[in-house]
């Protein structure tokens, strides 16, 4: 109640300040009328005393008579009646205003609480938006342009790249490309466009300044079972094995006219599916327990190298695309005559080629093991 009274008093004071021009104007009118009455009366008296012209006396007496009642009434109202009216009006307004405040107090308090909560919520969202904007700016600087929940949802973007005749360089990295070139998991339109580009290049319709360059990097069939076991239940539901899928896709590519030297195998388990073009790429990780084409993927654009870090396009180009093709120790070329060997060649034999069967254990590793064993024995005692 005390706060309401203070607020009411403040409103009244504010109204009084706004009314100052009216009061000043009223005072001037009262004083002017009184002054005219006194002056006219004074002139009439002096004129009468000095036996002046009768016209002046008549005129001044008439003016004084006209102004006198007005001046007297104005003074009476100003001095005696106006303060009474003002006090009565102020009291009445104050009572009415307090009644209005009391009747709407709960609504006003609810409105205040609601606005307060909204302000807190806005401040929180503002902070979150600033963090999100900072993250988005960082991703854009690195080259991350789009994100997709699955590989299949990103295939339309890959199709756009293949239709763009200004893009002439494509490197595909994957296990068997079932989730790209096959109809159910991928989209046959991709293979159709690849063959279309190859045919155009063969008849000279592709740009002579930028000849068409396409490479497919498959997982070596000997490493397929390692990945197949990791996929577990999802792979058990599949109607084919990974090794079969790899060689089936290769044979399909060759039958469509893809040259032998465009097909490569990498001696290692897959880590990330990818498609690289002249200035964009799509990457799609291989989760340990899930098939890659069912996991998320990112579109990455080529960006200028900036001070302090290297954009993702350049990093992956060196480490996952061009760099893999240049790795002669781990890359195997496809030859049609090697088909039987690729199917039968076991992992042990491939490992020998990579010098992974050397049984000589480094002494430093033996020392670490002996130290671990010694510490374990001491703890047990």
**Domain boundary pick from 76, 103, 130:** 103
Query: Is 155 found in the same domain as 10?
Result: no
Query: Is 299 found in the same domain as 236?
Result: yes
Asked whether the predicted pLDDT for residue 16 surpasses 70, the reply is no
Query: Is 87 found in the same domain as 175?
Result: no
Query: Is 220 found in the same domain as 290?
Result: yes
> Is residue 365 in a domain?
no
Query: Is 206 found in the same domain as 63?
Result: no
> Is residue 82 in a domain?
yes
Which element (helix H / strand E) includes 12? helix 2-18
Enclosing domain of residue 183: 144-355
> Is residue 117 in a domain?
no
133-164 pLDDT, tens per residue? Answer: 888 888 888 889 899 999 999 999 999 999 99
Query: Is 260 found in the same domain as 174?
Result: yes
Report the number of distinct structural domains present in the chain: 2
320-340 pLDDT, tens per residue? Answer: 999 999 998 899 999 999 888
- CATH at residue 329: 3.30.870
pTM for the model: 0.64
Instruction: Name which of 33, 19, 26 is nearest 64 in CA terms.
Output: 33
Is residue 309 classed exposed, middle or buried when 0-12, 13-18 and 19+ CB atoms within 10 A define those classes?
exposed
94-139 pLDDT, tens per residue? Answer: 667 677 767 777 777 777 777 888 888 888 788 888 888 888 888 8
> Is residue 134 in a domain?
no
**Could you give the dihedral angle defined by the CA atoms of residues 12, 15, 19 and 20, in that order, rounded to the nearest 10 degrees?**
70
> Is residue 131 in a domain?
no
Mean pLDDT on 301-308: 76
Mean pLDDT on 339-349: 79
């Amino acid at each position: 109640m005390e706060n309401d009274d203070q607020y009411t008093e403040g409103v009244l004071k504010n109204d009084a300040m706004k009314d100052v021009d009216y009061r000043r104007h009223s005072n001037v009118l009262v004083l002017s009328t009184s002054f005219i009455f006194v002056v006219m009366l004074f002139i009439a008296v002096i004129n009468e005393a000095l036996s002046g012209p009768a016209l002046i006396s008549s005129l001044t007496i008439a003016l004084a008579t006209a102004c006198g009642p007005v001046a007297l009434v104005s003074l009476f109202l100003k001095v005696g009646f106006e303060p009474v009216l003002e006090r009565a009006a102020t009291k009445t307004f104050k009572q009415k205003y307090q009644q209005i405040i009391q009747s709407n107090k709960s609504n006003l308090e609810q409105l205040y609480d609601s606005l307060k909560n909204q302000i807190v919520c806005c401040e929180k969202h503002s902070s979150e938006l600033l963090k999100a904007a900072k993250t988005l700016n960082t991703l854009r600087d690195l080259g991350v342009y789009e994100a997709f929940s699955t590989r299949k949802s990103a295939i339309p973007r890959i199709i756009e790249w293949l239709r763009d005749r200004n893009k002439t360089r494509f490197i595909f990295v994957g296990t068997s490309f079932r989730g790209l070139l096959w109809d159910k998991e991928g989209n046959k339109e991709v293979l159709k466009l690849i063959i279309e580009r190859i045919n155009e290049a063969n008849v000279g319709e592709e740009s002579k300044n930028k000849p068409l360059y396409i490479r497919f990097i498959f997982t070596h069939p000997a490493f397929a079972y390692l990945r197949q076991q990791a996929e577990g239940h999802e792979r058990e539901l599949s109607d084919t094995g990974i090794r079969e899928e790899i060689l089936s896709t290769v044979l399909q590519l060759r039958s469509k006219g893809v040259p032998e030297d465009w097909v490569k195998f990498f001696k290692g388990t897959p880590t990330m599916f990818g498609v690289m073009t002249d200035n964009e790429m799509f990457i799609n990780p291989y989760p340990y327990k899930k098939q890659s084409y069912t996991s998320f993927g990112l579109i990455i654009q080529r960006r200028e190298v900036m001070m302090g870090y290297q954009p993702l396009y350049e990093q992956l180009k060196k480490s996952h695309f061009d760099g893999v093709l240049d790795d002669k120790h781990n890359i195997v070329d496809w030859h049609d005559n090697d088909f039987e060997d690729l199917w039968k060649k076991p992992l042990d034999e491939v490992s020998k080629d990579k010098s992974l069967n050397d049984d000589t254990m480094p002494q430093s590793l033996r020392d670490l093991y002996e130290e671990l064993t010694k510490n374990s024995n001491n703890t047990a005692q």
